[in-house]
Every structure is written in C-alpha cells, then in structure tokens.
C-alpha cells in the first residue's frame, strides 16, 4: 500500500515511454488492450486524440491511463474517455485519489466537459466501486450490452488446464459440433495476412445484415491491422469449407489475456459448424500462448432469464464453452462542467431523437405521396 503520494511523479507519456507504458498495462490483472499505446494510435485514425498519462513511485509505474479526447465541434470543448481504464489498484484509496486528481487536472487543461472511465473491475469488488464514488465518479444507468464497452463478458479460464480438460468442460453438443466440423473437412487458418481482410469483411457484412448490427467500414479493420498486428496484438482468423471462407474472427492477445472480437459467419454451410471449430482452434492457440483466460467479450446481462432478448442466442453459443460470466461495474462519469454536461447527456440525445422522428415522419409522408 502507498503510504504517501508526496513522492509520486505524474507524467504525460511520450513515444519514449511506449514500451514501459504497454508493459505495465499488459501485466496488470485488469490491463486491457484498449489502454495500450497502439489502441490510441488506432483511435486517432477516427477523430480521437490519445492523451497517455502515468504515475511513478520509486521509478516504477503504479498507475496509467490512455485518455481518448474527442472534440465537440464549434464550442472549443471536448470529452475525455479512458476506455477500459484507468489501470491501477482501485482498492488503494490514496492511489485512486492521487491519480484521479491528476486525471482531472489533465481533463480540465484540455477543456473537457466530462471525464469518463470504464475499468474492467468485477461488480463484486465493492471496495473499488466505493473508492471511485468517493473521488467523484458517478455510475451511469446502462442498457443492452451496457455502454460504450460491454458491461458483461464471458471468460474461459485456461491457466493450468490441458486441452483434454478444456474440451471435456464444454457442453456435449459443442464437443459433438467440433468433431463434426473436423469430420466434414472444415479448416481454420490462424495466420491470415492483411490481404485477407477483404474476405473477412464480406462475411462480416453478411453477419451484421442478418443479425441487425451496424458494421464499420473496411478501412477501420485495415487501420486496426496496421496499428496492432506489427506489435503482435492481433490475429485474423478465417475458417474454410470446400475451399471457401465461411467464418472469420479477429482475436486480440495482450499480455496473458486473449480476446475474441468481431466474429463473422456466412449464411452458407452453417450445418458444418465452422464457428464451433474456429472457437476451439482460437482457444487452443490462446492456451499455447500462455494466456490465463480467453475472453469471449460482450454478452447480454440478461443471463438465463428466458427473455426474448436478441442477444440470448449469442449468450447461448458462448456459454456452450463453459466460461465464467463476469459483470463489471460499468461506466462512470465525472462532470467537469455541469451545464455542458447536461447539454451533452440530456439535451443533445433529446434533440437527436426529435430530429430522427421528424426525418422518419417526412420519409413516410413522401412515400405516401409517391
């Protein structure tokens, strides 16, 4: 425990700090790829500006945050967001107080109207949650996936487990589907290169259209490759049947944690269960890399409630691999300008909803005239 913050040094990171900054994030239990230098570089391609900061004590980093700054057009203000951060011992109140004071100072210097955080702290950690409240962060009421990042995830523990043990823990139907895919000749390529992003993207568009999700442009995934793949943080995975790509995924690996993201599957050949074999192949890869868990990422918080939530199918698929269900404490805001904060969180969404309703009404009226 830190007994004093007097001898702590607070610093805005530069490119010279990149390696030790990333190493601290990667080895921290709650350290996430979204707090890495490389993730900030990726988001810089889409209008965000990364501001990386850290605190040192006795020459060692004890806290860090990659803040994403988003300018609000025409008003000279911004929002600042620590996606899956900040990274520090949130049970240490003195450290939380000291580092939050520095984050607030940075945010005010940048004319931020709010400071948003989203640390992957389990909801059972009452001490951390109380500490964040004590320093001025307020939890947000979240719906669906739970905010900017998923509030609930599923994680498969890998540490100390053999392939046989992992496979035996899956639900019987999932083991059967894996064997079926292998028997039918489904293959998985874990070493795709940048040129194959186009094939993956076509399947992703098909998936999003089928399931009603929005999809980013191909350029985003190309930027992702350029930012993450050189550091070894990203894998593109494609699954084939009869020579055709029928499923794909992007996997992240950061420190001793692996994450499955952006799963895609074709409407064709779903009967040969390519997704089951693809997941099993990625799980084996994560284990071989020495990862302590394999994160299936976002799932619905309505776990097993029998509702018609459209995310329940996603939950059921991931749950078949027998992961643990993890709920995080979610997003917290610190309002730095109450008036602007109200405009951003209350007035702006209301105006947007009115404008959307008006556009829908105008569209329907025009259709009726035609």
Separation CA 298–CA 308 (nearest Å): 17
pLDDT at 145 (0 to 100): 58
Task: Work out the average pLDDT over 67-94.
Answer: 94
pLDDT at 310 (0 to 100): 56
Contacts of residue 226, Cβ cutoff 8 Å, sequence gap at least 6: 194
Q: Which of 281, 51, 296, 36 is nearest to 182 (CA)?
A: 281
Task: Work out the average pLDDT over 64-81.
Answer: 93
Confidence of residue 7 (pLDDT cuts 50, 70, 90): confident
Pair of tokens at residue 104: 């607030």
Task: Work out the average pLDDT over 359-366.
Answer: 46
**pLDDT at residue 217 greater than cutoff 90:** yes
> Which residue(s) pair with 328 in the sheet?
122
Q: How much is the mean pLDDT over the chain?
A: 89
pLDDT at 315 (0 to 100): 86
pLDDT at 358 (0 to 100): 52
Q: Could you give the 3-state DSSP secondary structure of residue 184? A: coil
Of 48-52, 118-122, 217-221, 304-308, the one with minimum mean pLDDT is 304-308
Separation CA 22–CA 349 (nearest Å): 36
pLDDT digits (tens, 9 = 90+) for 243-260: 999 999 999 999 999 999
Place of tokens 């643990």: 324
pLDDT at 349 (0 to 100): 60
Q: 159-291: what fold?
A: Aminopeptidase (3.40.630)
pLDDT at 3 (0 to 100): 44
pLDDT at 337 (0 to 100): 84
User: Domain 9-142+329-360 classified CATH 1.10.1740.10?
Assistant: no
Place of tokens 């599957």: 265
* Alpha helix (H) residue ranges in 110-171: 126-134, 163-169
Separation CA 190–CA 259 (nearest Å): 14
pLDDT at 124 (0 to 100): 96
Say which residue, 38 or 356, is predicted with more confidence. 38
pLDDT digits (tens, 9 = 90+) for 180-212: 999 999 999 999 999 999 999 999 999 998 888
The domain locations on the chain are: 9-142+329-360, 159-291
Task: Work out the average pLDDT over 60-67.
Answer: 97
Confidence of residue 363 (pLDDT cuts 50, 70, 90): very low
pLDDT digits (tens, 9 = 90+) for 303-348: 555 454 556 777 899 999 999 999 999 999 999 988 777 777 765 6
Q: Do 299 and 155 form a contact (C-beta atoms < 8 A)? A: no
pLDDT digits (tens, 9 = 90+) for 87-115: 999 999 999 999 999 999 999 999 999 99
Q: Do 159-291 and 9-142+329-360 have the same topology in CATH?
A: yes
pLDDT digits (tens, 9 = 90+) for 10-60: 999 999 999 999 999 999 999 999 999 999 999 999 999 999 999 999 999
């Amino acid at each position: 425990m830190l007994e004093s913050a007097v001898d702590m040094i607070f610093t805005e990171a530069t490119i010279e700090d990149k390696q030790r900054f990333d190493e601290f994030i990667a080895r921290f239990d709650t350290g996430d790829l979204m707090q890495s230098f490389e993730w900030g570089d990726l988001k810089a391609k889409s209008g965000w500006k990364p501001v990386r900061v850290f605190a040192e004590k006795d020459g060692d980093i004890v806290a860090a945050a990659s803040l994403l700054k988003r300018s609000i057009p025409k008003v000279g203000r911004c929002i600042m967001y620590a996606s899956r951060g900040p990274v520090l011992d949130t049970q240490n109140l003195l450290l939380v107080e000291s580092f939050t004071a520095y984050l607030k100072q940075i945010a005010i210097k940048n004319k931020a109207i709010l400071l948003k955080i989203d640390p992957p702290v389990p909801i059972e950690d009452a001490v951390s949650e109380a500490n964040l409240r004590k320093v001025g962060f307020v939890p947000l009421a979240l719906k669906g996936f739970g905010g900017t990042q998923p509030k609930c995830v599923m994680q498969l523990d890998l540490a100390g487990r053999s392939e046989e043990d992992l496979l035996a823990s899956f639900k019987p139907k999932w083991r059967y589907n894996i064997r079926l895919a292998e028997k039918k000749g489904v293959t998985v390529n874990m070493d795709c290169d940048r040129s194959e992003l186009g094939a993956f993207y076509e399947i992703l568009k098909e998936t999003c259209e089928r399931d009603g999700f929005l999809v980013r442009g191909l350029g985003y995934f190309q930027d992702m490759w350029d930012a993450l793949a050189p550091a070894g943080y990203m894998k593109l995975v494609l699954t084939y049947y009869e020579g055709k790509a029928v499923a794909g995924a992007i996997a992240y690996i950061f420190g001793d944690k692996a994450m499955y993201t952006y799963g895609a599957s074709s409407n064709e050949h779903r009967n040969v269960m390519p997704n089951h074999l693809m997941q099993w192949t990625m799980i084996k890869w994560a284990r071989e890399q020495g990862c302590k868990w394999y994160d299936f990422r976002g799932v619905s918080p309505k776990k097993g409630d029998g509702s018609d939530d459209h995310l329940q199918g996603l939950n059921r698929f991931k749950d078949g691999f027998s992961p643990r269900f993890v709920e995080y404490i979610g997003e917290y805001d610190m309002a730095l300008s109450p008036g602007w904060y109200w405009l951003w969180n209350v007035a702006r969404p209301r105006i947007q909803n009115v404008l959307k309703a008006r556009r829908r009404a105008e569209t329907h009226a025009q259709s009726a005239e035609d």
